[in-house]
A and B are shown apart, each in its own frame.
Chain A
Amino acid sequence: MRSIQRRLSLGLVGVLLVVGLLLAQASLWLFDLGLRRYLESGLREEAESLLIALVRGPSGMQLDEQRLAPGYQQPFSGHYFRIDFAEQTWRSRSSWDRELSQPQRVGLQAELGDGPRAQQLLIYRADYRRFGHELSISVAQDYTPVLDSFKRMQRLGLGFGLGAVLLILLLQRWTVRRALRPLEEVRLQIAQLQQGLRGELDSRVPEELEPLVAQINHLLAHTDASLKRSRHALGNLGHGLKTPLAVLVSLTGRAELSPALRSSLQQPLAQIEQRLSRELGRARLAGEALPGAHFDCGKELPGLFATLRVIHGADLALSWEAAPGLRLPWDREDLLELLGNLLDNAGKWADVQVRLSIVQEPGCYRLQVDDDGPGIAAQVRQDVLDRGSRLDEQVAGHGLGLAIVRDIVEAWNGHLQLLDSPLGGLRVSVELPLRATGR
């Protein structure tokens, strides 16, 4: 989709060019027409004065030189005439060796005639009758200076026109940018929304945008509320199922049961429990649905680490590093689940140290959990990752926890890797790609 700004500019340039050219050309044409009319009356007067200059002389009809305008005497002056009568043709001295051709029709000629020295001539022909002779008088005037000035005007007009178009474009750009600023702000806010920097759009927008922003905010609130509702319902379901399950698990410990019966009860119960935990955990995931979601490292990690310290005791050195103010654009509960499980696993296997680092890299975030435990041999790492997907083969430790981690990472199109840790144990590296934002 092209930007509105560019579209408006292109449209405006097109309209301005077409209208401007039409207008300029039409006004030139009208001016030319008016000028020719004006010159026509001058030429008629000249033809008439030539007629008056025709006098009856001793050898028939002759032209009274005294009465001729000086322009007709001077060569190439731009004023020419030609008088045709009987079998004779007289022409002005100014036309020198070049003969002015006689136009076909009476009146001002629409076409410009060729004159001497590349002059373009405006020609007028009038027919008279004098002293019993049929006369045809053609007068011509050089039109080249006018044409030249027209060309000059065209060039000037083109220059001015282009300047005006440029100015208008700049002004339009400025106006459009001003008018579209609210849109731009909304665009920025949506980008922030996707980066998890804000929870909803600012509702103070021009009224044209109000329904859009209100609708987006409504959708956000709705998604958030339905996520909360479904998590609550899942929590209730879990509570409702796991409490009786706890009773059953407790009952299997009774001494009245034979060992064989006990183990054949315990195994399916364990399967039910694992299945339940996995599916409930998976159903709780927000995944990519929430654009306003975010995880504030500085705010959430201390609580998580305090919890882990309670679980693993004060002997385990748990530490984390993340840039101050770092916010990850994913749901808080999902990320807590991801990090909680990874760190809990690391804590189970670690000797004395577990370290988390969260780094923003171009295009992704990298989460790394290191421990100084025994680690996992390179050749069995893939098995450990796969085991998460086969519920019946799970063992405590790098088992169910890693399965839910895999579910979360997959929901975010991320990448999970098991590597050697510089601390000596296992490094779990999670690469989470940034979601595409506005630009």
Chain B
Amino acid sequence: MRLLLVEDHVPLADELLASLGRQGYAVDWLADGRDALHQGASEPYDLIVLDLGLPGIPGLELLQRWRSGGLVTPVLILTARDSWAERIEGLKAGADDYLCKPFHPEELQLRIQALLRRAHGLANQPQLQAAGLQLDEERQCVSRAGVAIELTGAEFRLLRYFMLHAGQLLSKSHLAEHLYDGETARDSNVLEVLVNRLRRKLGTEVIETRRGQGYRFGAPGS
């Protein structure tokens, strides 16, 4: 999952980068509204965490311009402005959720998980489920029929992405774009290795390889 964090307060951004990184998200950080306007629309983010008090372009205007430009990426507003009038304004501008500062890191984590599930049409699940697997995003492990299977951080990130896109054909470059932030070198061999490790842990039939096209997780009949 690749996230864009737009926040101009450096210490908070540092904290968020660290905690979101621990939760297995690839995060790009921008502090200026003008940069975010461009990058938010051009890079394939899965979710954007947006602060409202930004230099350059105010957060709400930024959001409106993204939405009028056709951007459909879920946006979570993170702001100290907690009055209901401002919340309504934020959601009218096209936000998908609204979290008021100060917040507990767990709260943000839960909101992000819920928002991602909702964006992929899996709104009502307390835990991410696909192809007979249950993903515990808190402990970063997966279970099948009550049997827990430990995962490494990289495996967890890939599996989460697969589970959110169950049944879809995903190319290697697509996966690389969504699993790594803008500054990490992308090596397709690493992905192959990770897919093989997942197959070893979960069974080969879980991830189908389409030669020249990419991978498909939880294909029908598997």
**Which residues from chain A sit less than 8 Å from chain B, CB to CB?**
235-236, 238-251, 253, 269, 273, 277, 281, 284, 303-304, 306-307, 310-311, 313-315, 332-333, 336-337, 339-341
Contact = CB atoms under 8 A, between A and B. Distances in A.
26 contacts: A235-B81, A238-B80, A238-B81, A239-B80, A239-B101, A240-B80, A242-B80, A242-B100, A244-B11, A245-B102, A246-B15, A246-B103, A247-B11, A249-B103, A249-B105, A250-B12, A250-B105, A253-B105, A281-B83, A307-B84, A310-B96, A310-B97, A311-B97, A311-B98, A332-B85, A341-B84
Nearest to B90: A307
Contacts of B91: 303, 306-307, 310
A250 B97 contact: no
Interface string B74-90: 00000111111111100
Given A246-B15, A277-B82, A306-B92, 12 more contacts: A236-B53, A239-B79, A240-B80, A245-B101, A269-B102, A303-B88, A303-B91, A307-B88, A310-B98, A333-B85, A336-B85, A337-B83
A19 to B, nearest CB: 64
B104 interface: yes
Given A247-B12, A250-B15, A337 B84 contact: yes
Interface of B: 9, 11-12, 15-16, 19, 53, 79-88, 91-92, 96-98, 100-106, 123-124
Do most interface residues of chain A lie in helix, strand or loop, or is the interface mixed?
helix
Contact of A304 (B9, B88, B103): B88
Contacts of B16: 250
A246 B102 contact: yes
A244 B98 CA distance: 18
A240 B79 CA distance: 11
A238 B19 contact: no
A111 B124 CA distance: 117
B92 A243 contact: no
A304 B84 contact: yes
A246 B13 CA distance: 10
Given A303-B92, A307-B88, A251 B81 contact: no
Contacts of B100: 242
Do most interface residues of chain B lie in helix, strand or loop, or is the interface mixed?
mixed
Contacts of B106: 253
Given A238-B81, A336-B85, A313 B123 contact: yes
B67 to A, nearest CB: 15
Contacts of A310: 91, 96-98
Instruction: Enumerate the 5 nearest inter-chain pairs by beta-carbon distance, A residue then B residue, closest first.
Output: A340-B84, A242-B80, A246-B102, A239-B80, A245-B102
A243 B80 contact: yes
Contacts of A277: 82
A249 B104 CA distance: 6
Nearest to B52: A239
Contacts of A244: 9, 11-12
Nearest to B11: A247
Residue with the highest number of chain A CB atoms closer than 10 Å, among B9, B83, B87: B83
Contacts of A246: 12, 15, 80, 101-103
A242 B123 contact: no
A284 to B, nearest CB: 6
A249 B15 CA distance: 10
Nearest to A251: B15
Nearest to A315: B124
Contacts of B101: 239, 242-243, 245-246
B102 A333 contact: no
Nearest to B97: A310
Nearest to A231: B83
Contacts of B80: 235, 238-243, 246
Contacts of B87: 307, 340
Contacts of A337: 83-85
A416 to B, nearest CB: 18
A248 B97 CA distance: 23
B17 to A, nearest CB: 11
Contacts of B82: 238, 277
A248 to B, nearest CB: 7
B215 to A, nearest CB: 32
A248 B83 contact: no
Contacts of A333: 83-85
Nearest to B86: A235
B123 A314 contact: yes
Nearest to A255: B22
B95 to A, nearest CB: 8
Contacts of A243: 9, 12, 80, 101-102
A53 to B, nearest CB: 115
B102 A248 contact: yes
A47 B90 CA distance: 115
A336 B88 contact: yes
A292 B53 CA distance: 30
Contacts of A306: 88, 91-92
Contacts of B11: 244, 247
B19 A250 contact: yes
Residue with the highest number of chain B CB atoms closer than 10 Å, among A248, A310, A337: A310
B174 to A, nearest CB: 29
B188 to A, nearest CB: 34
A154 to B, nearest CB: 76
Nearest to A270: B102
A413 B186 CA distance: 64
A247 B84 contact: no
A253 B12 CA distance: 13
A242 to B, nearest CB: 4
